[in-house]
Amino acid sequence: MKTIALVLLCAACAGAPLEPVATSPTKLAPAPRSFDARSWVGDYVNAAECETAARRLHNDEPQPGWEALKACVEKQYPRGSFTYLNLVTGGFWDEDLQTRPDAARLVARIIALRGGDVEGDLPAAQKCRAPVFSLAAALRQPDVYKGRWLVLRGRLADLRSEGNVHTALLNESALRSAEREVKVGRRFKQENESQHSAAGDVRSTRYGDAAAKGESSSSSKSTWSEVKSTWDNEKVVTGRQALGRLQQADPFLEPNKDFVFLARFDGVRNNDQGDEVAVVSISSYFEPGPLLIE
């Protein structure tokens, strides 16, 4: 009987519902905190120090580090703008410049802040394999550069709007070095003047004696100054043109004013004179800052 009762008791226990076991609540991982680059960049008043801090941040967190670098470039510092193209293209940021979709815009902005010398600065960006190219290269090999980013300096020659389609004709310009002579040091000026006069009656005899009457005068003037040769950058028109598509009409894109453009190369077409004109889609434009002489 005891055995039967024990078996029945165990059977009842096996069929009884289990009571839930009390456990501590599961702790969820905190959501990643978004990085506020604008607040972060406020701690820096020097562009080079800001870039160095962005590198340190990039070592731990690449995405916030890249956002920090962009904030460094966009900030206006007490002693000017971010013009350190050599720091950005010096090797540390190479992978970001090669792979990030907004890298071309960053390069174009720095070139503009440095004065807009596209021909002089673009090779530094290409050295680290940043995918930005010149208008001249695209016109020489349209099939190779179709769909790639172009950085060009130019001014608006004409703007047309037909419905929702806005196109701008751009005349490319470039900076060329020109020699000038500048006066330096002490300037010397010398003036000399002299006069001589003689008077008498002209008389002659049968023996040939004579006396003459007349006047004579002379003067001289000389100036000199020390000069030295200097080299300035002058803007020249290259003759190359681009027909740029705009997403919308922009009143800040003023005619006859130079800008640095970032544009996607779409191909070429011929104008009325039979010359090839690049067809591009304008993504961004920047007003050139004061030219940086290094």
pLDDT of 101 above 60: yes
Question: CA-to-CA distance for 120 and 174, rounded, in angstroms?
Answer: 9
% residues pLDDT > 70 (the chain)? 69
Q: What is the pLDDT of residue 274?
A: 84
Summarize the confidence of residues 67-91 as an average pLDDT.
95
Question: CA-to-CA distance for 276 and 288, rounded, in angstroms?
Answer: 27
Structure tokens at 282: 């304008």
Question: CA-to-CA distance for 266 and 244, rounded, in angstroms?
Answer: 10
Question: CA-to-CA distance for 190 and 221, rounded, in angstroms?
Answer: 6
CB contact set of 97 (below 8 Å; sequence gap of 6+): 88, 89, 103, 106, 107, 125, 128, 129, 130
Burial class (CB in 10 A: 0-12, 13-18, 19+), 135: buried
Task: Spell out the domain ranges in the chain.
Answer: 37-129, 150-178+232-286, 179-230
Structure tokens at 53: 């801090």
Question: In this predicted model, what pLDDT tens digit does every residue of 134-157 receive, in sequence order?
Answer: 999 999 999 999 999 999 999 999
Question: CA-to-CA distance for 106 and 88, rounded, in angstroms?
Answer: 10
Question: CA-to-CA distance for 181 and 74, rounded, in angstroms?
Answer: 37
Question: In this predicted model, what pLDDT tens digit does every residue of 226-271 receive, in sequence order?
Answer: 666 554 568 889 999 999 999 888 888 888 899 999 999 999 999 8
pLDDT band at 272 (very low <50, low <70, confident <90, very high): confident
Question: In this predicted model, what pLDDT tens digit does every residue of 184-240 receive, in sequence order?
Answer: 665 555 555 555 554 545 455 555 555 545 555 556 665 666 666 554 568 889 999
- 150-178+232-286: CATH topology is OB fold (Dihydrolipoamide Acetyltransferase, E2P) (2.40.50)
Q: What is the pLDDT of residue 10?
A: 42
Q: How big is the chain by its Cα radius of gyration, in Å?
A: 39
